[in-house]
Chain A
C-alpha cells in the first residue's frame, strides 16, 4: 500500500465531510432564495459543528446512546473506504479493490442502523417514531435502488464499481445515457436516501421534533452532523461513479456531485411532505415500473 493511499485514507473522511457540509450549507441558501430570504452563509454548518464539538457538556442516556453516533460514522467511513473516489491520473481507490457493489449496498446501511440503535436508547418516543419511519422508507427506496444496481451489474457482467467506471470511458458511454431506466430508478431512490422533502419524514422537525437525533446534543450532535455531511458525500460519489462515469480530478468530482445534489434539492423545495406509507409505496409505483422496464431490456 503506497504512502499516498494511506494519506488519502486519513484525509478523505475530513475532505468528504467538509464538502458534504458545504453542500448542505449551500442548499440552505438556495432554499432561502426560493423562499425570498437570504439564509446563513454556506459555511454555517461547519461553524455549528465546531461549536457543538467544543461544548462543555453532553448528555448521554446509556452505552448504546453513546455508541450510536460512533458506529454511525464508522459505517459511513467504512463505506467511503470501498468507494473509488477519483479515477484519473492520480486515482484515489482506497480499498475499493477489495469490495464490490453488493458489499457497498450492505455496508451503507450499517451507519443508518447504528444511528437507529443509538436513537432507540434515548428513551424518547419521537426518536423511535423517526426510526420506524426511516426503516419503512428505506424498505421503500431500496427496491428501485437494487433494481438500478442489478441492471448495471447484469449489463456490464461485473459487480465491481471500478469495472463499471471503466466501461464508461466517454461521455456517450455514461450510464445516465446508456441505461436511462436504471438512472431514473436510482435517482428516485436517491430522493428517498437524501431525505429532502417530500421524503423528510424521518426528521420532520414540525411533527416529531427532528426524530432520531432529538435527544442528542453537544458532541453527539456534532458527530451526527459530521456523519450527515460525510454520508451525503459518499452517496453522491457513488452515484457519480455509477452513472456519471466517475471523476478524474477534484473539480470534476465537485461539479458532478453538486449537479446530482441539486436534483433532490430542487424537487424538495417545491414539495410538501409525504405521509409515511405514501413515502414507502411511492417507490414501488413509477420508479419500480421504470426499473422493471430496464430489467427486461437488459435481459434481451
Chain B
C-alpha cells in the first residue's frame, strides 16, 4: 500500500478509535492517539527524500496526494510538534472532562494538516482545509460556554477564508477544467490580469485568516487564549503554518514565479509580493505593540504569534532566495519557540490556575525548568544571538536591505525591538519579582510535560549552532519545488551579498566568555549570601511579609501612553461595528417579514391584485 494514504488512514483511524474505545479508560484513549501518531510519524520519516504520488478517482475527479520536499518540510513540523504535544497532553489533560473528545479532535487536526501538505490538487486541499478548520474549532470550544464568542469568531473568520478559497478554486476550475496543482502552475500564465488579481486576493484572504495576518487576525488572540494550552502550542506553532504553506503554494508553486511577468516590479519584487511584504511588516509591528500591553500570558503570546507570522509572510513576499530561506527558517523557529512558550505557559497554568501576570510572579525557584524553557524561548523570539531565532531574522533583514526596501526595514527592526518588551514582560510577570504567598508550595510540572519543552529548547540551541542542516533542507525545497536558486551558506556561516555571520563563532564567543566570567565570578569569590525576595531595600520603610510588591499591573504604562494612538484602533472593533450595522440593516427586513400571518395574507392579496390588474399585459 502507498505510504501517504496509510499515514492518513492511521491518523484518522486512531482519532476515531481513541474516541470510541477511549470511553473505557484514560490510558487507552491517550495510548491509542499517541501510538497512532508515533507509528504514522515513523512512516512519515521513511518518506524523507522521496517524491511519491498517489492518484485515485473519486466522483469523476482525479485526486492526487503527493509528497515532495516542500510537503516533507511542513510535515516535519506537524509531526515533530504533534508528538511532543501529544506527550504533554497525557499529563496536562489527565483528570479533565471529555478527554476522548480532545484526543479525537487532536488526531483529526494533525491528520488533516498532513492531508493539506500532501494534497496535490485543489479539491483535496480544500477538503482537508475544511476538516482542519472544524476539528480545530472543536478544540477551541473545548471549554464550552466561556469559549463561545471566541469559537464563533474563529469559525466565522475561517468560513470567510474558506468561501473565498472556494470561489478562487471554482474560478480556476472554470478556466482550466482541472484541479491539479500542475495544471494550475502550467496554466497560470494564460489567465488574464484581472483573473490573476482576483485569484491572488481570494487566496490571500483564505490563507491570511489561518496565518493570522493583520487585519484578518481578530480570531487569533481569543481562540488561542481559550483553547487548552497543550493544543494552543500546536494551534499557533503548526496550524497557523498551514496559512504560510498556502502562501508558499500561491506565490511559488501555483504561479510558479511568474508573478513578476504580469505585474510591475518594485525593487526587484513583483507588486503582489511587495504588498504582501508590507502586510507582513505591519502585522509584525502592530501586533507586537498590542502584545506589549496584554495582561493575559496567552493573549500576549497570541499577538506575538501574529507578529512573528508577519515576519514569515514578509520574507515570503520578498521572493529572493535569502528572503524565502529566512521565512522558512523562521517558520521552523516559530514552531519551536511558540511550542516552547505555549507549553510553558500551560505548565504554569496547570500548577497555578491562572495566566494573568498580575496574579503570578516569583515562580523561578518553584518551577526552574519551566523558567529555563521560557528564558530560551524569549531569547529566540527576540532574535538575540546566539540562539536560532537570530539566524532567521538575520536572513530576513539581509533580504530586505539587499532589496533596498529601507522603509520596510525600519518597520521590521522597530517591531523586533518592541518584541523585547513583551518578552521581558512574559518572563518577569510569571517568574521574576516577588511571589505571592499562595504560590509558595507550587511544584514543578511532571516530566511528561517538562520533557517536550526541554526537547524543543535543545532544538533551538542546536539550530543556533548549526543552521546548516535546516538550510540544506530549505535549499532542497527551493531547488526542487519552488524553482529558486538557493543562496550560499557554509557549515555554520550565513552569507549574503552584503555580509556574513558565523553562527558557530558567535555561539562559541558567547559561551567561552560566559564560562570564563562565570567561573571567575562565582567560584573565586564564594561570598554570596542568599536572602529572601521580600528582603529588599525600601528606603527605610519596611513593608510586612504579607505585602506583595510585584510590579505587574500596567507594567508599560508610559509606553501605552506614548503609543495610545495605535492601541486605540482595533480591527476587531471595526468588524464588530460592521456586523452590528449589518444587523441593523437586516433588521429592516422585519418590517416585511413581520411573522404575522395577516401581513403575509395581505402580501398574497396585493400580489394577486397586482397580477389581475396587469394580467392583460402579461398575456
Give A residues with C-beta under 8 Å from B: 53, 55-64, 66-67, 69-71, 73-75, 77-78, 81-82, 95, 98-103, 105-107, 109-110, 113, 116-117, 120-125, 128-129, 131-133, 135-136, 138-139, 142-143, 146-147, 150-151, 153-154, 157-160, 209, 214-215, 218-219, 223, 275-277, 280-281, 295, 298-299
Q: Say yes or no: A103-B558 contact (C-beta < 8 A), given A57-B529, A139-B421, A219-B521.
A: no
Say if the beta carbon of B170 comes within 8 Å of chain A.
Answer: no
**A-B residue pair count with CB separations less than 8 angstroms:** 234
Say if the beta carbon of B390 comes within 8 Å of chain A.
Answer: yes
Contact A99 B521 (CB under 8 A): no
List residues of chain A with CB within 8 A of the CB of B568: none
List residues of chain A with CB within 8 A of the CB of B592: none
Q: Which residue of B lies closest to A123 (CB)?
A: B533
Contact A81 B551 (CB under 8 A): no
Give B residues with C-beta under 8 Å from A: 362, 364-365, 368, 371, 375, 382-385, 390, 393-394, 397-398, 401, 404, 406-407, 409-410, 413-414, 417-418, 420-421, 423-424, 427-428, 432-434, 493, 496, 498-502, 505-506, 509-510, 513-514, 517-518, 521-522, 525, 527-534, 536-539, 549-551, 555-556, 558-559, 561-562
Q: Which residue of B lies closest to A279 (CB)?
A: B558
List residues of chain A with CB within 8 A of the CB of B562: 136, 276-277, 280-281
Contact B501 A98 (CB under 8 A): yes
Q: Say yes or no: A154-B539 contact (C-beta < 8 A), given A70-B518, A74-B514, A78-B506.
A: no
Contact of B410 among A60, A63, A146, A209 (CB under 8 A): A146
- Sort A-B residue pairs by CB-CB distance and give the 4 closest, nearest first: A100-B499, A276-B558, A120-B432, A123-B533
Contact B527 A58 (CB under 8 A): yes
Q: How far is the CB of B574 from chain A (nearest CB, A)?
A: 25
Bound CA span A103–B375, Å: 20
Bound CA span A224–B423, Å: 22
Contact B390 A113 (CB under 8 A): no
Does more than half of chain A's interface fall in helix, strand or loop, or is it mixed? helix
Bound CA span A215–B536, Å: 7
List residues of chain A with CB within 8 A of the CB of B561: 277
Bound CA span A160–B371, Å: 36
Contact B498 A129 (CB under 8 A): no
Contact A100 B501 (CB under 8 A): yes
Q: How far is the CB of B318 from chain A (nearest CB, A)?
A: 15
Bound CA span A63–B369, Å: 13
Q: How far is the CB of A139 from chain B (nearest CB, A)?
A: 5
Contact A143 B414 (CB under 8 A): yes
Bound CA span A73–B517, Å: 8
Q: Say yes or no: A95-B424 contact (C-beta < 8 A), given A123-B549, A280-B558, A295-B406.
A: no
List residues of chain A with CB within 8 A of the CB of B537: 124, 209, 214-215
Q: Say yes or no: A136-B559 contact (C-beta < 8 A), given A125-B549, A150-B401, A215-B536.
A: yes
Q: Say yes or no: A74-B536 contact (C-beta < 8 A), given A128-B433, A135-B424, A159-B498.
A: no
Contact A62 B533 (CB under 8 A): yes
Bound CA span A186–B499, Å: 21
List residues of chain A with CB within 8 A of the CB of B536: 122-124, 215
List residues of chain B with CB within 8 A of the CB of A138: 417, 420
Q: How far is the CB of B566 from chain A (nearest CB, A)?
A: 12
Q: Say yes or no: A71-B514 contact (C-beta < 8 A), given A61-B533, A120-B427.
A: yes
List residues of chain B with CB within 8 A of the CB of A275: 558
Bound CA span A195–B550, Å: 26
List residues of chain B with CB within 8 A of the CB of A209: 537, 539
Bound CA span A280–B563, Å: 9
Contact A136 B421 (CB under 8 A): yes
Contact A159 B558 (CB under 8 A): no
Contact of B501 among A102, A117, A139 (CB under 8 A): A102
Q: Say yes or no: A132-B556 contact (C-beta < 8 A), given A147-B410, A218-B527.
A: yes
List residues of chain A with CB within 8 A of the CB of B505: 95, 98-99
Contact A146 B500 (CB under 8 A): no
Bound CA span A281–B563, Å: 8
Contact B556 A136 (CB under 8 A): yes
Contact A98 B558 (CB under 8 A): no
Contact of B414 among A82, A142, A276 (CB under 8 A): A142
B514, B527, B558 pick with most chain A CB within 10 angstroms:
B558
Bound CA span A150–B407, Å: 9
Bound CA span A62–B535, Å: 12
Seed contacts A62-B530, A73-B517; 20 additional CB < 8 Å A-B pairs: A61-B532, A81-B509, A102-B397, A102-B501, A106-B385, A107-B385, A117-B428, A121-B433, A123-B533, A123-B536, A125-B549, A129-B551, A132-B551, A133-B558, A136-B559, A142-B414, A146-B409, A277-B559, A277-B561, A280-B562
Q: How far is the CB of A137 from chain B (nearest CB, A)?
A: 9
Contact A132 B555 (CB under 8 A): yes
Bound CA span A286–B398, Å: 27
Contact A223 B521 (CB under 8 A): yes
Bound CA span A98–B509, Å: 11
List residues of chain A with CB within 8 A of the CB of B407: 295
Contact of A123 among B401, B493, B500, B534 (CB under 8 A): B534
Contact A150 B410 (CB under 8 A): yes
Bound CA span A135–B514, Å: 23
Bound CA span A71–B517, Å: 9
List residues of chain B with CB within 8 A of the CB of A58: 525, 527-529
Contact B521 A70 (CB under 8 A): yes
Contact A77 B410 (CB under 8 A): no
Contact A103 B534 (CB under 8 A): no
List residues of chain A with CB within 8 A of the CB of B517: 70, 73-74, 77
Contact B521 A101 (CB under 8 A): no
List residues of chain A with CB within 8 A of the CB of B384: 106-107, 109-110, 113
Contact of A150 among B382, B409, B521, B559 (CB under 8 A): B409
Contact A74 B510 (CB under 8 A): yes
Q: Which residue of A lies closest to B417 (CB)?
A: A142
Bound CA span A113–B382, Å: 10
